[in-house]
Amino acid sequence: MVKLANEEQSQVKRATRAAYGATLAELANEGLPVVAVDADLTGSTTTKKLADAGFADRLFNCGIAEQNMVDVAAGLAATGHIAYTGSFAVFGTGRAYDQIRNTVCYSNLDVKIAPTHAGISVGPDGGSHQMLEDVSLMRGLPNMRVLVPADYAAARAAIRLAAETPGPVYVRMGRASVPAVYADGVELELGRAYVLREGSDATIVACGVEVEQALKAAQMLAAEGVEVEVIDAFSVKPLDEDTVLASVGKTGRAVVAEEHSVYGGLGSAVAETLARSNPAPVEFVGMRDQFGKSGEFEELLDYFDLGSRAIVEAVKKVMAR
């Protein structure tokens, strides 16, 4: 079992994006041929830290040209580099989708699509910048693997794992500072989900910022005598179907929570798995066919029914079915 953050560590909030540039610098210092290609957001994405660490020749700023950014990364990967792209998720996946599909994935190149500022946690930037369809876009691409880290430590592990995994990998990171779920230095695996809390009455499968919300919901439900199992589906693709099926086989029902559209993301992956192997009642906590809006992250979690209370209500609903 992976080591979780203790109570003191969980009080320290850090954004998942903060792990990006620092981890790239660590990988470069270890001798890996990593490079970063950015679209004029090196400060916001933190890829600038790679240059600040003495690797200025490994950072390529393409300006506001995300499609070109992906093609430059593809070219660098074709010459033996491990190429990471950096932008906001709405631009780094949406605007550059054709290049990701036809240049990176079709050729199975060693390019890591690793944007920041995904989901409603972008906050005040509003609906135009709150990317809620990216997991769906990336999950549907052949050869692409999809990782959605829950906190800083998990993001660091995801960036390292991407470097160790040949071919395209998508790493989804956010802007907002979030509490620690895992202890620093945690190592996570591709295709693995992690049971963070055991229970018998229902299963909550979550990813990203919703993992911490799911753990909060589990505490709230425990106070009412309901024991839920909480799973971090850090690897959305490939999904750890065995862990999901074993848990739902025990509890008989599931709730899926994600800071993403309910269409095509983690919820769809879990529902597909259960439909094939063990049909069971499922409820979904996610964005319901709508765009986001401007506001503070915590406010938006409650406004869009993505917080711990919404997860509690979803558990009660699925238990009543």
Q: What is the set of active-site residues?
A: 66
Number of alpha carbons in the 13 Å side-chain half-sphere of residue 137? 23
Q: Which two tokens mark 52?
A: 């600040």
Report yes or no: 90 and 78 within 8 Å, Cβ to Cβ. no
CB crowding 6-37: b at 16 or more within 10 Å, else e: eeebbeeebbbbbbbbbbbbbbbeeeebbbbb
Sign, CA torsion 69/74/78/82: positive
208 φ/ψ angles, rounded to the nearest 5 degrees: 60, -145
Q: What is the largest CA-CA distance in the chain?
A: 59
- Distance between CA 196 and CA 137 in Å, rounded? 28
